[in-house]
Amino acid sequence: MLTDYHLHLRPDEPDTPPERFFTVENVDRYLVAAEAAGVEELGVSEHVYRFRQALDIWRHPFWEEQARDDLDAYCEFVRGTSLKLGVECDFVPGAEDRTANLLEARDFDYVVGSVHFVGERAVDHEGWDAWEGKGDPDEVWRRYFEALAECARSGLFDILAHPDLVKVWGAARPLPERDLRAFYEPAVEAIAESGIAVEVSTAGLRKPAGEIYPATAFAEMCVEAGAPFALSSDAHLPEQVGFAYDRAVEFLAGLGVREICVFEGRERRLEPLGENPTR
């Protein structure tokens, strides 16, 4: 089995209205791409902050600007397709109850939990760059992984998205000088305690980081902690479905991982990891 659960039906640009992207024709493009890539399980997880209901969770100016669409219309649309229904939801510290209310009111198959922001600034967004000003890498990395640990421990989510997103800029941002495993440690502890599935995402290969999320050392620590893995591309276009899955399957096999997570109705089971796709 190969899965691709962390998918977006539209790019992150602002002028991408649902009526242009949440269409049967667009879903078909993703399904065709999945078949070509040997991906059997496909689900969509749009960013929660693009829906008006997300403003009940957080009123960050970026969210205020992005929250245009109706979450229930999205759920209804996806339910009319063969895609599994997911959502990519940011962990917002202090908003756990409001987040739970939003998620529990809908019949998602799975929820992808993300950390993009540390405080008011984002690790992956130039407009809200966490590295601006002092930008001490030790501080940014420490705060990012502390937030990731809280995200895992919150129990709100099924899959922990792009677990070391903080590396997204690669050489364009300074790297801490310490052994990076010191930063991973608190997150791995929370992953082990919570039982959340760790996302192996090929999106990092398309970014300046140029490597899979999570880094090998981080993934090895997750394996040691007994964490299960979920496999995704974080595609924002049909041609990115199953992106570089040959690398991802090799990566997982190299870690000794033989099973991946499959979700339905927020229940999880493990299926044998699929063969290396030929594409």
Interface residue list for Zn ion (CB under 5 A): 88, 114, 234
- Between 158 and 234, name the residue whose CB sits nearer to Zn ion: 234
- Between 66 and 114, name the residue whose CB sits nearer to Zn ion: 114
Residue type present at position 270: L
Note whether 26 and 234 are within 8 A (CB).
no
Note whether 179 and 138 are within 8 A (CB).
no
Q: How far is 208 from 166, CA to CA, in rounded Å? A: 12
- Between 88 and 164, name the residue whose CB sits nearer to Zn ion: 88
Note whether 108 and 86 are within 8 A (CB).
yes
Q: How far is 177 from 136, CA to CA, in rounded Å? A: 11
Cβ 256 to Zn ion shortest distance, Å:
27
- Between 122 and 221, name the residue whose CB sits nearer to Zn ion: 122
Taking residue 276's Cβ as centre, other Cβ atoms within 10 Å add up to 15
- Between 4 and 234, name the residue whose CB sits nearer to Zn ion: 234
Cβ 160 to Zn ion shortest distance, Å:
11
Quote the distance between the C-alpha of residue 273 and its chain's center: 19
Of 71, 63, 73, nearest to 23 by C-alpha is 73
Cβ 211 to Zn ion shortest distance, Å:
16
Q: How far is 45 from 181, CA to CA, in rounded Å? A: 29
Cβ 132 to Zn ion shortest distance, Å:
20
Cβ 178 to Zn ion shortest distance, Å:
25
- Between 156 and 256, name the residue whose CB sits nearer to Zn ion: 156
Cβ 31 to Zn ion shortest distance, Å:
19
Note whether 11 and 239 are within 8 A (CB).
no
Half-sphere exposure of 54 (CA within 13 A, CB side): 25
